[in-house]
Amino acid sequence: MRRKLAAGNWKMNGTRADLAEIAALAEAHPEPGCEVLICPPATLIDRARAVAGPSVALGGQDCHAAGSGAHTGDISAVMLLDAGAHYVILGHSERREDHGESSDMVRDKARAAMEAGLRAIVCIGESLAQREAQNTLDIIAGQLSHSIPDSATGENLVVAYEPIWAIGTGLTPTTDQIGEVHDFMRMKLETRFGEGVGRSVRLLYGGSVKPGNAAEIFAVSNVDGALVGGASLKAADFGGIVTALAQS
Ligand code: PEP
């Protein structure tokens, strides 16, 4: 049985004043019926712990592949764990694009995160041009195979399918399109890691998930939750998604 996960990605948004949203989320959902995760900017993780309570877990948005060293501006997995994170988002398309992160780099970061004791949420997804060229499943297969280390298990890995064209645009794939990719990812994971591990890895959908469309997305096979950007910034919006997931 896979635990459902509602994960919020605050991206480069939020200062101390916004911790009130995490407090409000925790207060409104003391027993959410699914796992709830907020990944705020790294500057807020330590302070967020004080308001998140037991019902809201915290995560980072990136980590370095090395444990420590001369990497100005970077943050290691151990540092995130020390600050109070239990998860880290890796390979988000914005990092792949803004920072030139390849799938091989993402795999090395995921390995470091797992070694440190963090759960890695590895993001993959096609561009609009790749979908229109009917290359979606090839792209997904390549990113999946290169971005995930051999050390992955159902406990330390979550995969998020995030079509790039759906992120922050208000556009979403049809439920059939989401189902096709999620069933494909499940099959690929079972083939590589065996049925036990392959079936236990949670698969999130990400891209313009809102309270209004969450229920139909959560009804799709092999969708175990969502990675949510914009709608995770406000407790009321994210709370609606949490409720839809708990009821799915
Ligand atoms: C994201 O950035 O991971 C994301 C899914 O963003 P949004 O929900 O705003 O589309």
The model's pLDDT over 128-147, given as tens digits with 9 standing for 90+, comes to 999 999 999 999 999 999 99
Ligand 1 contact, 239 CB (< 6 A): no
Q: How much is the average pLDDT of 24-49?
A: 97
Q: Is residue 125 classed as helix, strand or coil in its secondary structure?
A: coil
Indicate if the pLDDT at residue 153 is higher than 90: yes
- DSSP alpha helix (H) spans, the chain: 19-28, 42-52, 77-83, 93-98, 103-116, 128-132, 136-147, 175-193, 195-200, 211-218, 235-247
Q: Which one of 5, 9, 90 would you pick to mutate in the ligand 1 pocket, going by the greatest count of ligand atoms within 8 A of its CB?
A: 9
Which two three-digit tokens encode residue 44?
């807020």
Q: Which domain holds residue 148?
A: 5-246
Q: Is residue 166 classed as helix, strand or coil in its secondary structure?
A: helix
Could you give the residue numbers annotated as active site?
Answer: 92, 162
Find the distance separating the first CA and the last CA of the chain, reported in whole Å.
14
CA dist 162 and 123 (Å) reads 7
The angle subtended at Cα 111 by Cα 105 and Cα 115, nearest 5°, is: 150
Helices (H) and strands (E) in the chain, counts: 11, 8
Per the structure, the count of domains in the chain is 1
Exposed, middle or buried, 70 (CB in 10 Å: 0-12/13-18/19+)? exposed
Kindly report, residue by residue over 169-180, the tens digit of the pLDDT. 999 999 999 999
pLDDT at residue number 1? 83
pLDDT at residue number 78? 98
- In degrees rounded to 5, what are phi and psi of residue 235? -60, -40
Which two three-digit tokens encode residue 36?
């709830």
CATH of the domain at 215: 3.20.20.70
- Looking at ligand 1, which residue's alpha carbon is closest to its atom 2? 229
Q: How far is the CA of 168 from the centre of ligand 1 (A)?
A: 5
Kindly report, residue by residue over 201-228, the tens digit of the pLDDT. 999 999 999 999 999 999 999 999 999 9
CA dist 179 and 156 (Å) reads 23
Indicate if the pLDDT at residue 67 is higher than 90: yes
Above pLDDT 90, what percent of the chain?
A: 100
- Looking at ligand 1, which residue's alpha carbon is closest to its atom 1? 229
> Is residue 158 a contact partner of residue 226, using CB atoms and an 8 Å limit?
no
> Is residue 53 a contact partner of residue 68, using CB atoms and an 8 Å limit?
no
Ligand 1 contact, 209 CB (< 6 A): yes
Q: Which atom of ligand 1 is nearest to the CA of 232?
A: 8
> Is residue 182 a contact partner of residue 218, using CB atoms and an 8 Å limit?
no
